[in-house]
Amino acid sequence: MDWEWLRDLAQHHRNKVIGGLGGLVLALLVMRFGFFWTLFILLCCGVGYWVGKRLDDEPESLVQLLDRIFPPGGR
């Protein structure tokens, strides 16, 4: 089977393919869990992405942020 057309589609229309797959996943989440659970799932994914990005960029900055939110030994 010739898969060249799929490779061509992925290379030349990358953002369209990613957008289409993202829309499909979003629609399936809404159908399966409902609108508000889907928003909660997306919020958790966004927070996880943000924390991971902070850890990749500057690991110490996340520790400083957590120390400001939850001061050590303080009430």
Q: Are residues 70 and 42 in the same domain?
A: yes
Residues 22 and 47 placed together within one structural domain of the fold: no
Q: How many structural domains does the chain have?
A: 2
Any idea what DSSP says for residue 1? -
**Structural domain span for residue 43:** 34-75
Same domain, 28 and 55: no
Cα–Cα distance, 31 to 18 (Å, whole number): 20
Q: What is the mean pLDDT of residues 19-29?
A: 93
Q: Scanning the structure block, which residue is given the tokens 């499909």?
A: 24
- Please tell me the predicted confidence (pLDDT) of residue 70: 86
Asked whether residue 34 carries a pLDDT value surpassing 90, the answer given is yes
Confidence of residue 75 (pLDDT cuts 50, 70, 90): low
- Percent of the chain's residues with pLDDT above 90: 36
User: How far are the Cα atoms of 6, 7, 21, 29 from residue 3, in angstroms, in the given order?
Assistant: 5, 7, 19, 29
Select the more confidently predicted residue: 72 or 42. 42
Cα-based angle 44, 27, 30 (whole degrees, multiple of 5): 60
pLDDT for 50 equals 86
Task: Return the pLDDT at 63.
Answer: 78
